[in-house]
Copies of this chain bind each other. A is one copy, B any other.
Amino acid sequence: MTLSEEDYIKAIYHLSEFNSKSVATNAIAEQMKTKPSSVTDMIKKLAEKSLVNYKKYQGVSLSEKGRLVALSIIRKHRLWEVFLVDKLNFSWDEVHVVAEQLEHIKSDALIDKLDAHLGFPKVDPHGDPIPNKDGVFTKSVKKLISELPVGSQGVCVGVNDSSAAFLKFLDKNKIALGDTFKILEIEEFDGSVTISTRSGSIRISKQIATNLFLEIVDEE
């Protein structure tokens, strides 16, 4: 598999991660920052290799084979991110671009030994799960703050948007994975949410609330 094919497979995976339907050519083009005509060309090649299911004008979806390829690249990407943060002291907003390259290094031994070196981590620095060798991973039950009712309490376990801009914003506002939050108030007008943190309560915009995942702590 070429680097480019791998990036397309990963893009298709992420675009169908939640809705599970077939993915539109234009959506892939936007994700990959290419033109729709280039996407069509690549899709044909991937279909030829049975990595995707494709019918002209009907969008595309990953085959089981393609899904496993996607998960193996995602596994590598996330393990490298853990390495960069835990071992090389990168901050969590810098690692994505580098992992984007490292994920394409081809060596099973390398990724096995890296996994062991890191202590077999289950999640990456952004709270995303790391699939095992067979593409198996546990999708934890986590909810966006924007989906939760007043009174909910939970541990911040992940980000929806992992852009450097958002991650830096969180750092600046002293919001980190592992923090416990409680939803105190939801403002009807603009969707902003007041949450309690260790250091008092803060108000976050709707945009922030739709990009932070909490793992709910059952209220007894």
Contact = CB atoms under 8 A, between A and B. Distances in A.
A21 B97 CA distance: 40
Interface string A110-127: 100110010000000000
A106 interface: yes
Interface string A80-111: 00001001111000100110011001110110
Contacts of A89: 113
Contact of A98 (B98, B101, B110): B110
Contacts of A114: 88
Contacts of A105: 98, 101-102, 105
Contact of A101 (B84, B97, B107): B107
A82 B106 CA distance: 18
B90 A113 contact: yes
A97 B105 CA distance: 11
Interface residues of A, number: 18
Given A98-B107, A101-B107, A105-B105, 4 more contacts: A84-B110, A88-B114, A98-B109, A102-B105
Contact of A109 (B90, B106, B117): B90
A125 to B, nearest CB: 15
Contact of A87 (B97, B107, B117): B117
A113 B91 CA distance: 12
A34 to B, nearest CB: 18
B88 A117 contact: yes
A97 B110 CA distance: 11
Nearest to A101: B105
13 contacts: A84-B110, A87-B87, A87-B117, A88-B117, A89-B113, A90-B109, A90-B113, A97-B107, A98-B105, A98-B107, A98-B109, A98-B110, A101-B106
